[in-house]
Amino acid sequence: MRDEPYRWIEAIQDRRDYIEDELRLGSPVVGVTYDAGMMLLTVSKGQRKIFEVHDRIALSAIGHPADIERLRMLVTDTASVQGFQNATEDINLLRLTNYTLAPAFKQAFESIVGEAYIIKMLLAELGSTSGKNQFTGINFDGIVRTDPSFAVIGGTEVIETGMQKYLTAAKTDTDRDLTTAFRLALETWAIGKELSSRGSEETESEETQIDTTQMYGVIDTAREEGEIEVGVLETAQHGTNKFRLLTSQEIEAALK
């Protein structure tokens, strides 16, 4: 009986290694703010990856499609029920994260006799003012990270660190327009995608950045197999619903 805690710790570590290995090649997701709102960007292969949760909340994720859909429906249905039973103002990202998603992630991960969710999720909430915007990333083990300016999810922590370094260098540019934000997010995505294709030893080296030519080479290759997907939450959108997906025409124009 004395060795039971050690077996549990070992099982948890094995589970973590397995999930990270499953997620490593997933298409990263990048979230950035711009002068008119917030943006989520990824590259998808057939299946949609960016969704509306509620009027001012959107999400994207990497991982097993069935897990993504199950948890997307969980948070969307929860938001709908809260809005019906209480008021629209009661629906916020903090409540959905802390009371619905994070506990579900944590319980599934730590219950080693059951199946864990193979997923990382990134959510965005458009505030009534720019100072209240928030990105929230949820790891497969239930750990939550928040940031008002930008966020990323990638297959491993090292991949995410490489993407964050690139975004941090551009963080002072608070007046970026939609096109500038799109290019920044797409270039950051390319860094994550390139790092995910490297071996573990290469990825863990200090040199994780790539030049612009390499970035757009990665992007061109990815577009041959999939398509760029971008969801935005815009303050200028009429009505209470602030979410929309960029059209293919808008994406092509931003690439020129």
Query: Could you state, in chain order, the average pLDDT of each consecutive group of 10 residues for the chain (256 residues)?
Result: 68 92 95 96 93 96 96 95 78 93 95 91 89 94 95 95 92 78 96 86 57 91 95 93 96 93
**210 found inside a domain:** yes
**204 found inside a domain:** yes
CATH number at residue 111: 3.60.20.10
Per-residue pLDDT at 211: 86
Cα dist. 14→66, 136, 166 in Å?
22, 26, 31
Coil vs helix vs strand at 2: coil
Rounded distance between C-alpha atoms, residue 222 and residue 19, angstroms: 23
Cα dist. 233→45, 130, 198, 203 in Å?
23, 12, 33, 33
Rounded distance between C-alpha atoms, residue 122 and residue 200, angstroms: 24
**7 found inside a domain:** no
Structural domains of the chain, count: 1
Domain that holds residue 33: 27-255
**197 found inside a domain:** yes
**21 found inside a domain:** no
Helices within the chain (DSSP H only): 4-23, 65-85, 93-96, 102-110, 157-170, 178-197, 200-203, 212-225, 248-255
**51 found inside a domain:** yes
**6 found inside a domain:** no
Per-residue pLDDT at 201: 54
Per-residue pLDDT at 166: 93
**17 found inside a domain:** no
pTM metric for this prediction: 0.92
Per-residue pLDDT at 7: 81
